[in-house]
Structure 1
Amino acid sequence: MIIKEVCVDNLDDAISAFHKGVDRIELCSNLFEDGLSPSFKVLKNSKLKIPIPTRVMIRPHSKTFNYNNEDLIEMKKTIEFCKKEKFDGVVYGCLNNSSELDLKKIDYLAKFSKPLNVIIHKAIDLTASPLESLKKILKLDDVDGILSSGGESSALKGSEILKKMIDISPNGFEMISAGKITKENLESLHRKINGRYYHGRKIVGEL
């Protein structure tokens, strides 16, 4: 059975996706900036209105994924709120000056985020090799999955790398394929890569 996750930046779309049969929500704000952390008010309301597992984007700004200490403090505040409200998980990514994964910061935030599920988002696609980056992530005990398009502009274009990433992911680790996945192209992508987890704004159609 595949798991379909939709990315939304407002509660109306989240509710619409739920009624269209999506399995899980990734909640953020400002999708035109590829998603930022939602406000505490939106998070609070979502717990009242969305009856399916919801994961929260932890991204304080769109300037960079190379976060400073001030950014980390802000991220931890949102994570702490998510823990208090018992969300299903958090989604974030940290890069260093070389646009490679900042494993120290990723691990630090992952440990802080427990017991929530921890997913590393598409920042991994900005690294030189998402496949090699995944191998590094798999060595971290507190990261539960990643979200990737295989380093390409879409999951279909990155399907060859995605298949390799899925193949090396152990049971229990969520290798989530993402990148322009729609209700219309999901089946053809699934035939190519045979994944279990799929993510997209239009994965259950227009909201």
Structure 2
Amino acid sequence: MDLLIKEACVENLTEAKNAERLGASQIELCGRLDLDGITPDLSLVEKVLKGLSIHVKVMVRPRAGNFVYTEKEINVMEVSIEFLKSMGVQEIVLGLLTDKNEIDIPSTEKLVELAHPIKVTFHKAIDKLDDPVKGVRQLMEIPGITAILTSGGKPTAREGAPVIRQMILAAEDKLNIIAAGKITNENLLEIDRLIDADAYHGKLVVGI
């Protein structure tokens, strides 16, 4: 299990430090996990960057709810990205869709280009698509996106395992597919046998 890449989803400094202590490979820092995560407070980002030695990803999401954003909301995301870049954040996590439930390619390209040279993970917004595998192929064409977080369009990684495996095949080693969805330190090995993903994500992936 120690060889698996474990990404802990956290929302405060205590959780972040506990995740590192318990063996997390990296963290995704969010605000308001009760709302499935939004952009965290910048003061918290600063404390986590100073307090941890492992890789830190930061969520860029201006509000809870769907992933169809107005121009004003996209502008807010741009400002967040600029601040996070200036703070030395290593990677951001975002996801944008159209009102037709497809990836918003132009807006995604715009934000990923702005983030450069920071890496970008496209988050579970991809699970809203009718065909997440098609989404993988589209995201592969956007330089700067290096990973996709997904539960295969299902509530849990176990349920979404067949689709996640298809997404891994579609990614052709060009994108890392990070499996998510009720993954804990107790079921991680079982899920890994089902999926054999590049990494695993969860609030309890290391037992915090």
Which residue number in structure 2 is paired with residue 46 of structure 1? 48
More deviation in 29-38 or 42-51? 42-51
In 2, distance between residues paired with 1:97 and 1:196?
Answer: 30
Give the drift of 1:172.
4.5
After superposition, give the CA deviation of every residue in 1:8-53 in whole Å (9 maximum; x if it has no partner): 1111100011100100010001000000000111111111112111
Aligned match for 2:195, one of 193, 196, 203:
193
> How far does residue 170 in structure 1 lie from its aligned partner after superposition?
2.7
- Aligned mates of 1:200, 1:40 — CA distance in 2: 22
- Partner of 1:77 in structure 2? 79
Tell me: CA distance 1:172–1:134, structure 2 relative to 1, closer, same or farther (3 Å): closer
Instruction: Note if 1:4 corresponds to 2:6.
Output: yes
8 Å Cα contact 2:11-2:30 kept in structure 1:
yes
SS at match of 1:156: helix
Cα contact 1:53–1:87 (8 A) shared by 2: no
Q: Is the 8 A contact 1:66 1:94 kept in 2?
A: yes
- How far did 1:143 drift? 1.2
AA in 2 matched with 1:130: P
Which residue is equivalent to 1:136?
Answer: 138
Percentage of pairs with the same residue:
33
Shift of 1:63: 3.2
Q: Which amino acid aligns with 2:96?
A: C
Matched-pair contact (CA < 8 Å) for 1:2–1:195? no
Amino acid at match of 2:162: E
Q: 1:204 is matched with which residue? A: 206
Q: Output the CA distance in 2 between the equivalents of 1:2 and 1:166.
A: 16
How far, CA to CA, are the matches of 1:141 and 1:37 in structure 2? 23
Q: Which stretch of structure 1 is more off in the superposition, 69-78 or 16-25?
A: 69-78
* Counterpart-to-counterpart distance in 1, 2:170 and 2:131: 14
Q: Deviations over 1:129-158 (max 9, x none)?
A: 111111111121221111000000000000
- Runs of 5+ consecutive residues of structure 1 not aligned to the other structure: none
- Alignment root-mean-square deviation, CA: 1.1
- Aligned mate of 2:149, from 141, 147, 150: 147
> Number of matched residues?
206
Kept after mapping to 2: 8 A contact 1:58/1:78: yes
Q: How does 1:51-66 map to 2 (within 5 A)?
A: 51-66=53-68
Q: How does 1:106-185 map to 2 (within 5 A)?
A: 106-185=108-187
Amino acid in structure 2 at the alignment position of 1:35: G
